[in-house]
Amino acid sequence: MTIKTNFYSTKNKLWGIAPGFYRQPWIRIAQSIISIEMKKLIGLLIFTMTIVSCQTKPKVDMTESKDAVAKILDDHWSALKAKDADAVIALVSEDFLSCGSDPKEFWNKTEMYTTLKQMLANSDFKLEITVDKREIRISKDGNSAIAFEQMFLTPYSQKMPVRTVYHLVKENNNWLIDFTSTGFIPKNEDIDKINKALE
């Protein structure tokens, strides 16, 4: 003989729920209210997400940003030519890092300031620069930029060009340099000559 067991009846007995409990009118009303409120909540969430995703971000004026970054680079060279270490350091961020042309040259903001003060204090030091090429790329959000310059830099490079790569960030609506890397860039056909000269 097969004994059929009503699962919900057994569960109700175990939990102490009286038969017919779920058929009570007020239970059905409560379930309907909960269902309606859940639908409202889900609708509200979908509406909020739609509004947030559709909000238009302020359009970045790329020309204005590029001009602002170019001015920072120009001010940097002007300060160096004027031997004004304070003016140079005012253009860099607190977490600034500079990589020089020598493999051992890694400077933070304080170290760069000390190096500049010593270099610019030399009365015989005279910087002459001819920038042949400059490119600036602004990020889509307008808060950072990458730039590079190729130049001849007297007294360091009369024959071999130098390339400096910059990374800049926008802090409190002001552009600051937070990274630079400078290196000599010989022509490919001159590399063998350089290697032989170093033997």
In the chain, domain spans:
7-54, 62-191
Maximum CA extent, the chain: 113
d(CA 108, CA 49): 43
pLDDT at 28 over 70: no
pTM as predicted:
0.69
Q: Which residues pair with 180 in a beta bridge?
A: 98, 166
- Range with the largest mean pLDDT of 34-43, 66-75, 149-158: 66-75
Q: Say which CATH topology domain 62-191 has.
A: Nuclear Transport Factor 2; Chain: A, (3.10.450)
pLDDT band at 95 (very low <50, low <70, confident <90, very high): very high
pLDDT at 6 over 80: no
pLDDT band at 15 (very low <50, low <70, confident <90, very high): very low
d(CA 30, CA 28): 5
pLDDT band at 129 (very low <50, low <70, confident <90, very high): confident
Q: Kindly state the average pLDDT of the residues 147-175.
A: 91
Q: What is the pLDDT of residue 111?
A: 96
CA 126, 130, 133, 139 torsion: positive or negative? positive
